[in-house]
Amino acid sequence: MGSLYAIRDQTDITKGKEFYEKALAIQEKTLGPESKDVAMTLQNLSVLAQRSKDYARAEALTIRSQGIYLKIDGPVHPDVAASYLNMAIAYENQKKYSAAEPLSQHALSIYKQLYGLEHLDVIRTIDNLSYCAALQGRYPQAVEFSAQAASLAEKIVPQENSLFPHVLHNYAYALRKMKRIAEADKIEARAKSMPGNDQKKE
């Protein structure tokens, strides 16, 4: 079962939920309840639950998916790291920042063990830590995380990849909150000039 297809509106979410629930029933019957295909489908259902703001269901699905990945792959594996990050995002959406941040840190630790620093998943997770810190008003720490993510993105992320401008937008936001307006404006302008920028240009 592949990754989640593009979701445009609530109709797509409903159709996606029906699709993956049917797939899950087939997979559990043919492959057993603890196969990697089952884990991936559970994670896709968790993403759909988050988009429907059904965070309790998203959490339960992610916990079950994570348990399968841990059993099959062990604690240091990309799928396990992704499950920690997905859980962190679910908690962020519920404003449970104290629960979210350690999960993101754990995901980052796994990704660093697997890839070192210069990897997209590492950058994405550091960027999420910046976002989480900013949501809690910890802007100096958010700037620190964003500066690290931007430095790494500069090395390995093409400007056509939406991750790069996304990192810069978060960086500029944190700087602006610290009244470092000139720096924020410069970074924001660069982000908006990138081919991968998906934020509306002013």
Please state the domain extents for the chain: 11-102, 116-202
83 pLDDT more than 70: yes
Average pLDDT, integer, range 140-152: 98
122 pLDDT more than 90: yes
Give per-residue pLDDT as tens, 13-29. 889 999 999 999 999 99
pLDDT given at position 134 = 96
Q: Which tokens belong to 172?
A: 């500029």
Identify which has the larger pLDDT, 159 or 77: 77
- C-alpha span between 144 and 158 (Å, rounded): 22
116-202 under CATH 3.90.550.10, yes or no:
no
SS3 category, 199: coil
Q: What is the mean pLDDT of the chain?
A: 92
Give per-residue pLDDT as tens, 94-121. 899 999 999 999 999 999 999 999 999 9
CB 45 within 8 A of CB 20: yes
Q: What angle do CA 46, 52, 55 make, to 5 degrees?
A: 55
- C-alpha span between 170 and 151 (Å, rounded): 13
Average pLDDT, integer, range 150-172: 96
Q: Which tokens belong to 118?
A: 């210069």
201 pLDDT more than 60: no
pTM of the model: 0.87
Domains 11-102 and 116-202 in one fold: yes
| 11-102 topology per CATH | 1.25.40
pLDDT given at position 3 = 45
- C-alpha span between 71 and 75 (Å, rounded): 8
